[in-house]
């Protein structure tokens, strides 16, 4: 019997859908709206557009690299666990093939049924691992999207951008002037925001060490 193999390929290129929402107020009847406060927002008069390059952002974003590294480790651990179990089952099968001639018919049938059950369990394990990895990938997608979209929303408000596009191969944006590319400044801000707690912890540890000397 051949070794069972598991195909656990993870697509780590995560699609970043950048938030952009424009609120258009609809003119109401002057008689019904006069003297009342409208809670709708008017469309911006001046529209300022920028874009980020997804591939470049992901490749250099420390948070994404950490998430991707954790996902890859999870995949590798699962694959190693599966391989050990598959090799163990293979040894049992080979052992049965060597000793089957010395068994009674009932004994041989019992061993065969046990091996078949173990093979079925291995197939179920493979399926379960695949589902776990898909869930882990979805969690990474969610965390990354929330992190980046939240930062972009604040950046757009502070810098007067009406629309920030996500430029990647295959989307509707075929060309963007280099002067509209804010990938580097966004990447710098994201990495500073992500690494700030770590830098603070290092400084605090260094201060504690100095104080004890």
Residue 206 pLDDT > 90, yes or no?
no
What residues pair up with 167 in beta bridges, in sequence order? Answer: 53
| pLDDT for the residue 5 | 35
Q: Which of 140, 147, 121 is nearest to 75 (CA)?
A: 140
- Work out the average pLDDT over 51-63: 93
Tokens read off for 11: 């697509």
Distance CA 151, CA 144 (A): 11
| pLDDT for the residue 42 | 60
**Per-residue DSSP letter, 51:** E
Model confidence, pTM: 0.66
| pLDDT for the residue 173 | 78
The per-residue pLDDT for range 13-51, each reduced to its tens digit, is 322 232 232 222 333 444 444 444 444 456 566 789 999
Q: Where are the alpha helices (DSSP H) in 23-61?
A: 30-33, 54-60
Where along the chain do its domains lie?
A: 42-199
Tokens read off for 26: 């609809």
| pLDDT for the residue 7 | 31
The per-residue pLDDT for range 144-172, each reduced to its tens digit, is 999 999 999 999 999 999 999 998 887 87
Distance CA 171, CA 15 (A): 11
The per-residue pLDDT for range 104-146, each reduced to its tens digit, is 999 999 999 999 999 999 999 999 999 999 999 999 999 999 9
- Mapped to the 3 state alphabet, what secondary structure does 167-196 carry? ECCCCCCCCCCHHHECHHHHHHHHHHHHHH
pLDDT band at 209 (very low <50, low <70, confident <90, very high): low
Distances (CA, A) of 153 to 14, 24, 77: 19, 18, 37
Q: Does domain 42-199 have CATH number 3.30.910.20?
A: yes
Distance CA 98, CA 85 (A): 20
Tokens read off for 182: 């804010």
Residue 65 pLDDT > 70, yes or no?
yes
Distance CA 200, CA 197 (A): 5
């Amino acid at each position: 019997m051949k070794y069972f193999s598991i195909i656990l390929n993870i697509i780590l290129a995560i699609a970043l859908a950048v938030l952009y929402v424009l609120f258009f107020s609809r003119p109401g009847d002057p008689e019904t709206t006069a003297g009342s406060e409208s809670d709708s927002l008017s469309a911006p008069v001046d529209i300022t557009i920028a874009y980020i390059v997804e591939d470049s952002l992901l490749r250099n974003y420390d948070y994404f690299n950490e998430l991707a590294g954790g996902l890859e480790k999870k995949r590798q651990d699962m694959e190693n666990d599966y391989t050990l179990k598959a090799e163990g089952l293979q040894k049992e099968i080979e052992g049965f093939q060597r000793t089957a001639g010395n068994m009674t018919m009932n004994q041989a049938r019992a061993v065969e049924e046990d091996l078949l059950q173990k093979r079925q369990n291995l197939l179920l394990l493979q399926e379960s691992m695949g589902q776990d990895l898909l869930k882990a990938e979805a969690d990474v997608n969610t965390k990354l999207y929330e992190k980046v979209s939240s930062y972009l929303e604040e950046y757009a408000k502070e810098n007067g951008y009406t629309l920030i596009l996500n430029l990647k191969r295959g989307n509707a944006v075929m060309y963007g002037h280099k002067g509209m590319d804010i990938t580097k400044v966004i990447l710098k801000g994201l990495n500073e925001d992500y690494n700030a707690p770590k830098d603070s912890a290092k400084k605090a540890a260094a201060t504690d060490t100095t104080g004890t000397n």
